[in-house]
Amino acid sequence: MAKFTLFFVHGMGQHGEHWSQKAWEAFETAYTRYDDLKDFPFEDHFDYQEVIYDHIFEQYRERWREDAAGLNGLMGISDAAPALIARMAGIAERLGEDDYFTTYLLDVVMYRYLSVVAHPVQVAVAEQIATHLNAAGSAAERKWSVVAHSLGTSVAHDTLHLMFAGGNAEIAALPRQFAPEVGLFVANVSRLLERPSLSVYQSVVRPSKRRRNGILNCYLSARHILDPFTRPKPFAPAFDWLDEPTQRLAFPAYQELVISEVLQPDVHDLAHYLANPGVHIPLIRAHFRRRNVISDEAEHAAREAYRKKALQGRLAALRNQLGQLNDEQQPGVEGLIASAEHLQTLARLWEAGT
């Protein structure tokens, strides 16, 4: 059996080499805890490749310093809300500061509202995936999946659609037999960041039994109920998003994974998601396409053990603070930005022990 290569696609912020190691180790550690999987050694079935595209955002931060008027002009004619356009008008003077907006959230704004940024990001991601697939050998050896996080869920969605829906001048089209097996979209903001020209519910990035109406065998969308990034426009497709043959599959082709346990302030963190049995068990089962690869009894025990960790006193207090933050969240990208900044402040206070 060929290994599954998991392509990790990062979210906002700076991500150097080995950025995905913590998340990969969280997945591997979780996998090795299950006695049911002892006949399926982790290293024989999974490896990973990390995708990096944040250098493109860095290039445009530099361009903003040099040509603020030009990029502000592009923002002005975008479909961004007036308040966000006004906030961006003075961004050039703040670049380089230790500011959560300019070092993290600006990536989200640039990707969503500036096609001059989004397009090279998609090209970079497509090239990295295609390079690895071309080196993998025969089609039988090209078993791969995508683990995308936060902003990366939108980037991965848009890129995969281009790769398998005909390509463009810079992204070569790939035949469906080379499509990914599983897509895990963690803190899925693909709907929040979708452009008017491409609805995430109309794209080819969906499951399909024979790969006719979609490119995946299984689509997993994971959200934490206290993660502010998932609240403004959650990914929630209607029942007919899947064609009828796909709906009738014994193993569910689409699964919404909703978790609530809190073990750290940054509930948006990819490793925090993957450590949760509510996420990694469906991910493992989706690759084997068998629910019983991990028994229901083992799943119940893992979930109970994880919940006990989350019930510690200080963690319960943290959960209440996060709940209040989410209750006050405003709609749209602007609301997401404000809540994310508050989440970052809360994380810093928590780490300081206050």
- Residue 148's nearest CA partner among 4, 9, 7 is 9
Q: In this prediction, what percent of the chain has a pLDDT beyond 70? A: 79
Higher pLDDT, 117 or 168: 117
The SS3 call for residue 275 is coil
Instruction: Name the DSSP letter for residue 146.
Output: E
User: What domains are defined for the chain?
Assistant: 4-351 (3.40.50.1820)
Residue 149: pLDDT band by 50, 70, 90 thresholds? very high
For residues 223-240, give the mean pLDDT.
Answer: 89
HSE-CB for 246 with a 13 A CA cutoff: 22
**pLDDT at site 336:** 66
| Spatial distance between the Cα atoms of 354 and 348, rounded to a whole number of angstroms | 9
Does residue 172 carry a pLDDT above 90? Answer: no
- Residue 200's nearest CA partner among 240, 235, 231, 227 is 235
Q: What are phi and psi of 74, to 5 degrees?
A: -65, -40
For residues 296-317, give the mean pLDDT.
Answer: 84
What the block records as the tokens of 18 is 């080995």
**pLDDT at site 354:** 45
Question: Could you report the per-residue pLDDT of 99-110, keeping only the tens digit for each?
Answer: 667 777 788 888
Secondary structure E strands in the chain:
4-9, 46-51, 144-149, 182-186, 218-224, 254-259
pLDDT averaged over the chain? 86
Does residue 151 carry a pLDDT above 90? Answer: yes
346, containing H or E segment: helix 332-351
**pLDDT at site 318:** 63
| Spatial distance between the Cα atoms of 160 and 183, rounded to a whole number of angstroms | 10
Question: Could you report the per-residue pLDDT of 57-114, keeping only the tens digit for each?
Answer: 988 888 877 766 676 677 766 777 777 777 776 666 666 665 667 777 788 888 988 8
Does residue 225 carry a pLDDT above 70? Answer: yes
For residues 265-273, give the mean pLDDT.
Answer: 91
Higher pLDDT, 351 or 158: 158
* Measured CA distances, 291 to 123, 137, 170, 283, 285 (Å): 36, 30, 40, 11, 6
**pLDDT at site 109:** 86
Residue 204: pLDDT band by 50, 70, 90 thresholds? very high
Question: Could you report the per-residue pLDDT of 318-340, keeping only the tens digit for each?
Answer: 666 566 656 555 656 666 666 66
Does residue 316 carry a pLDDT above 80? Answer: no
Q: In this prediction, what percent of the chain has a pLDDT beyond 90? A: 53
**pLDDT at site 345:** 61
Q: Give all strands of the β-sheet with 254-259 in edge-to-edge order.
A: 46-51, 4-9, 144-149, 182-186, 218-224, 254-259
For residues 196-207, give the mean pLDDT.
Answer: 94
**pLDDT at site 95:** 65
Tally Cβ neighbours within 10 Å of residue 22: 13
